[in-house]
Amino acid sequence: MKRSRFSEEQIIGVLKEHQAGLSAAELCRKHGISDATFYKWRSKYGGMEVSDARKLRSLEDENLKLKRLLAEQVLDNATLKEMLGKNF
């Protein structure tokens, strides 16, 4: 997955500028982002503080690790079932 060139702090800063009264078009031009990117950020980070965004990132990372562990466990179980099903 491609890393964003903006950190969560910068994204929240841009959104706070929008809340302060700047239009979305001005912000997009100023920061060099597309309208779609701005609205995606707003849907994901709207109303958050920097600490909330950090918590969200840590929870997303933890969720990804747990999904990988689950996938490995399911694969191990399938392998064991296949091995037990065969006659030796």
**2 belongs to a structural domain:** no
Share of the chain above pLDDT 90, in %: 72
Q: Has this prediction a pTM greater than 0.85? A: no
Residue 4 contacts by C-beta under 8 Å, 6 or more apart in sequence?
11
CATH number at residue 28: 1.10.10
Asked whether residue 79 is assigned to any structural domain, the reply reads yes
Interval 17-52: pLDDT, tens: 999 999 999 999 999 999 999 999 999 998 889 899
3 within domain boundaries: no
Q: Phi/psi of residue 22, each to 5°? A: -75, 145
> What proportion of the chain, given as a percentage, has pLDDT over 70?
94
- 75 located within any domain: yes
Paired tokens of 9 = 């702090």
The predicted pLDDT at position 87 comes to 63
Q: Compare 13 and 1 and report the one with higher pLDDT.
A: 13
Q: Is residue 33 part of a domain?
A: yes
Task: Tell me the average pLDDT across 61-72.
Answer: 98
Q: How many domains does the chain have?
A: 1
Domain that holds residue 73: 8-85
